[in-house]
Amino acid sequence: MHEVPESHTGWTFLTNHARVLAAIAEDRTTRIRDIAVRCQLTERAVQKIISDLEGGGYLTHTRQGRSNEYRIEEGTLLRHPADSGPTVADLLALLARHDAEHGGGNQQLRRASPRARATEGDL
């Protein structure tokens, strides 16, 4: 299980939706409970965010026994009109690159995005 980071007050650059999506990109079979701990959210909030992401076409899931396996629709464009152009894959590649450069070690996240795999030699 992931270590819970210290709490933070004030504004942040990433939304909770982006944090949940990044957690799923790192481990597509992760449990809602583990996402909640990692993102410092309640399990109910994570369920709502996953529902939002599925409703928006960014994410799908299939049941694997008692667990879910998530699939990120990487070609989906980001929602805000000012962000037109970049895709979910672009966002995940950016987050993976940041983690790689700062010792985050999210190797699974780096492999989650086709663009990250294509530029891996540039890191």
**0.85 exceeded by pTM:** no
Residue 87 forms beta bridges with which residues?
77
User: b/e map of 90-108 (b: 16 or more CB within 10 Å)?
Assistant: bbbbebbbebbeeeeebee
Q: Give the pLDDT confidence of 17-28 residue by residue, as tens digits.
A: 999 999 999 999
DSSP category for residue 3: P
Q: Give the pLDDT confidence of 31-85 residue by residue, as tens digits.
A: 999 999 999 999 999 999 999 999 999 999 999 999 999 999 999 999 888 888 8
What's the CA gap between 28 and 24, in Å, rounded? 5
What's the CA gap between 4 and 120, in Å, rounded? 28
